[in-house]
Amino acid sequence: MEKIEEALSYNFKNHSLLEEALTHPSISKQHSEGKGYFNYERFEFLGDSVLGLVIAELLIHKFPDEKEGELAKRLAGLVRGDVVATVARKLNIGEFIRMTQGEEVMGGRDNESNVENTLEAIIGAIYIDSGIEGAREFICKHWEQIADEMKEPPKDPKTELQEWAQGRGLPIPEYKVVNTTGPSHNPHFEMSVKVEGLDIATAQGASKKKAEKEAAKQLLKIIKEEKSEQ
């Protein structure tokens, strides 16, 4: 507990909150009173909302002249999975996750979904432990520089691809599930995206939404490479 609190620069009043936030569903166990399960999933649900709220507040103050649409793009760019996972890896979160040996052998300590979910759960735990002020201090410490480095509101890959297609009079991109693998507590999706006149692009992710974004990103990369060759 001391090592991870040092990494987080936050000391918990209630260490059972931190313990639950660090528990992977692979070793989930039922609470002694028989209510719910002891793993990071519930705190992840809370932490995801707290992260969005604090980042939205941060952006309101940082960019007073931007409209709602631009702020929404910045928010989406700051709370997306790969950004959360990058912050988690800087804090060495994977080192502290409690998981089964099987999950660890499968690369669970560096799995993007695992470290992302755990960090969001830690944010939820901090919120319960010390309220919005504690959560705000923690989030701003690790996200403010990322927000400052975002010079322009980023475009979501799916939005960018749709705008590209519509700008050429083409139907909107079509996404389909190609395959689903992994255990129920940690599924992995392979999604495809098709735009008329282009080859199909596929990508994988810890959720359908993430896989769709990656597939759109892959197709945009192909489009830009073909354009540069012309």
State pLDDT tens for residues 35-65: 556 899 999 999 999 999 999 999 999 999 9
Residue 167 is part of a domain; what is its CATH number?
Answer: 3.30.160.20
Q: Tokens 């749709």 sit at which residue? A: 162
Residues 123, 49 share a domain: yes
Give 221 or 132, the one with higher predicted confidence.
132
Q: What one-letter code names the amino acid at 44? A: E
Same domain, 179 and 67: no
Active site residues: 48, 120
The burial of 26, by beta-carbon neighbours within 10 Å (0-12 exposed, 13-18 middle, 19 or more buried), is given as: buried
Q: Does the pLDDT value for residue 27 go beyond 90?
A: no
Total-model pTM: 0.74
Q: Are 100 and 57 within one domain?
A: yes
Short-list 112, 76, 77, 86, CA closest to 97: 112
CATH number, domain with residue 36: 1.10.1520.10
CA distance linking residue 51 with residue 41, whole number of Å: 15
Residue 68 predicted with pLDDT over 90: yes
Q: What pLDDT is recorded for position 215?
A: 93
Say whether both 24 and 95 belong to one domain.
yes
**For 106-144, how does the pLDDT look when each residue is reduced to its tens digit (9 = 90+)?**
898 999 889 999 999 999 999 999 999 999 999 999 999
pLDDT value for 70? 92
Stated length of the chain: 230
